[in-house]
Chains A and B, each alone.
Chain A
Amino acid sequence: MSDTQVTDAHGEAIDDDKRDFIFIATGAAAAAGAVSLGWPLVAQMGKAADTLAAGSIEIDISKIAEGQQLKMLWRGAPVFVRHRTPKEIAEAENTDISKCPDPQTDSERLVAKPDGTIDPRYLVMVGVCTHFGCIPVGESGDYDGWYCPCHASHYDTSGRIRKGPAPRNMAIPDYTYISDTVIKVG
């Protein structure tokens, strides 16, 4: 407090501490209000409950012939289920992954059946290019796998990125074998 007494319009002494308290309390309340109201305004843009709930599909893979690919819509994106030929499986397994931009062995990209065995014939993945989300075309590209026409990304028969601007391998969705021939995605 200064030496000279500061007074208000009524001639009463002004209590600076009281003013500071009111300023800080009001400011704090306004900040808390802005944050607590701001969050719902931002969060409403996220995935709605029904979007989250529409989460899983079941696929009978026994109906897919060798060399055939099934395309299913899952969470607004296509899921590829490919019944690979022996040649494709051999190519996928005999790749020197140390040269891959996103190294993963073929078996790391497959899911075991309930009895613990892995069936290398069926490759299940999200058919979305990891570059900008286009859908790659099957049985094409420099590695016999998939080719994305948008910006020329080449994927091999395991869905691994080999050449082009895409940063990662095509994603493997969460899926399980609920029987020998039926998988559940999501």
Chain B
Amino acid sequence: MSGHPSTYEPKYGATKWLDQRLPIIRMGADFMTFPSPRNLNYWYTFGGILTLCLVSQIITGIILAMHYVPHTELAFESVQRIRRDVPFGWLLQPMHAVGASMFFFAVYVHMFRGLYYGSYKAPREVLWIIGCLIYLVMMATGFLGYTLPWGQMSFWGATVITGFFGAVPVVGESLQQWLLGGYAVDNATLNRFFALHYLLPFVIAGLVGVHVWALHHVGQNNPIGITPKTKKDTLSFHPYYTVKDAFAVVVFLLIFAFFLFYQPDALGHADNYIEADALKTPPHIVPEWYFLPFYAILRAVPDKLAGILLMLGAIAVLFVLPWLDTSKVRSMRFRPVARGFFWIFLFFCFILGWCGAETPDNMVPFLSVGDKGLNFTWLSRIATFYYFAYFVIILPILGLVEKPKDRPESITKAILGDSSHGAAAPAE
């Protein structure tokens, strides 16, 4: 799996025997000794955090499936029963629901880290694309899962999202009804959403395997984006990064635990505690917080199909990013101009999230007086424009005209300066 020479030596008769037949211990040992750049910072711990999130979601999910009933008459009550009557259901159900939010929080940090340090550039294009695929399947899984409690937001969220397919020219309506299994969101829809929500996490797990495989083939990027040249530039994954990852996991779990034990419903929507009603649309439909920026892009356009295409484009553009960014310099540390644009990009992503949560016709506080000034539709249009401009205008042009700062020769020199003789380097 990994590209570095194996140093594993089986010590016992049994392990020697096994190593000749299935070198599975060797694979694990090579994984643990994988040479990682010695300058990885805490932004690089989110891969490990995300693995933990996936495992936690799968375990709590399988448990919830033992108590949940995917039927329109019983689904809402069965979730309430899990929370009230099932032993430790009060803990396990929020662990899954809050866990989904924590999962998305971690994946966004992970993705913005990749954007900042240029982790999508050669030779890591495929690694990046697999990551984008994982994100896409995560979005599908999150959406399907949110339908299952069968509250008002579940039902109407499902109605709106499956409505996207109705916008496809000619075959739209047939396609939509085929997905729903009926004329509208109903029991057939709930049943298949449950089946797919159970399936997709395992697809994610498979993709994560390929993601890590690609990572170990090309090696990790690092905060200065300089490829390790000598052994001095790297450290063994274990114990150096297992410990670093473990510490980050503990901090992450503290935040997780705060929500889990003190604010289990803060990240959800109150309307989802009203059972789904096909005859009454809630006055204000909003998706979960992690989809708000895309929802804002969708609503920024007054045309149905164009809105959907733009929203899909916002994700599709990530897939081709390795070829849009023309700069050969990976890390933004050496790209002062690009760095400024990056922070503006992050700012507008938050603005889009804010727009997605607000009613489009409402006026923006501080930027309007009475009904004069900027409303949220126009704010989301400005932010949407910047979102796309960053990828298809700024990054392609900037790579050609920007003069990057001088980069150090190696990771070791960047840390220890020219006088480095490895004196301060940890023992290998």
- Interface on A for B, CB 8 Å cutoff? 45-48, 51, 71, 73, 75-78, 128, 131-137, 148-152, 164-167
Contact = CB atoms under 8 A, between A and B. Distances in A.
Given A73-B279, A167-B304, 7 more contacts: A51-B183, A71-B279, A131-B304, A149-B285, A152-B361, A165-B299, A165-B304
Interface stretch (B38-46, B155-163, B216-224, B329-337): B155-163
B309 to A, nearest CB: 13
A83 to B, nearest CB: 18
Contacts of A78: 278-279
Instruction: Pick the 7 closest A-B CB pairs, nearest first.
Output: A76-B184, A132-B163, A75-B183, A132-B160, A134-B281, A135-B281, A133-B159
Contacts of A148: 281
A132 B308 CA distance: 11
Contacts of B156: 134, 150
Contacts of B181: 45-48, 51
Contact of B285 (A46, A150, A166): A150
B303 A149 contact: no
A109 to B, nearest CB: 19
B153 to A, nearest CB: 12
B5 interface: no
B285 A77 contact: no
B186 interface: yes
A165 B361 contact: no
A149 B283 contact: yes
A96 B302 CA distance: 22
Nearest to A131: B304
Contacts of A45: 178-179, 181, 192
A134 B164 CA distance: 13
Nearest to A51: B182
Interface in B292-341: 299, 301-305, 307
Interface in B188-203: 188, 192
A186 B178 CA distance: 20
B239 to A, nearest CB: 49
A26 to B, nearest CB: 30
Given A132-B159, A132-B160, A135-B279, A75 B285 contact: no
A132 B283 CA distance: 14
A46 B184 CA distance: 12
A72 to B, nearest CB: 9
A76 B278 contact: yes
Given A75-B184, A76-B186, A78-B279, A133 B304 contact: no
Given A47-B183, A51-B182, A165 B302 contact: yes
17 contacts: A51-B183, A75-B182, A75-B183, A78-B278, A128-B184, A131-B304, A132-B163, A134-B156, A134-B281, A135-B279, A136-B281, A148-B281, A149-B283, A149-B284, A150-B156, A151-B299, A167-B305
Contacts of B188: 47-48, 51
A132 B278 CA distance: 14
Contacts, number: 87
Contact of B183 (A77, A136, A137, A167): A77
Interface SS majority for chain B: loop
B396 interface: no
Interface in B316-372: 359-361
Contacts of B283: 149
B85 to A, nearest CB: 30
B376 to A, nearest CB: 11
A134 B159 CA distance: 7
A135 B280 contact: yes
B177 interface: yes
Nearest to B185: A76
Pick from B163, B178, B282, B307 the residue with the most CB of A within 10 Å: B163
Nearest to B285: A150
B158 to A, nearest CB: 9
Contacts of A166: 304
B425 to A, nearest CB: 58
Given A45-B192, A165-B304, A166-B304, A134 B185 contact: no
Contact of A46 (B159, B166, B178): B178
B160 A76 contact: no
Contacts of B359: 152
Nearest to B299: A151
B180 to A, nearest CB: 8
Nearest to B189: A76
Nearest to B163: A132
A80 to B, nearest CB: 11
A47 B192 CA distance: 13
Contacts of B280: 135
Nearest to B307: A165
A150 B160 contact: yes
B240 to A, nearest CB: 49
A135 B282 CA distance: 9
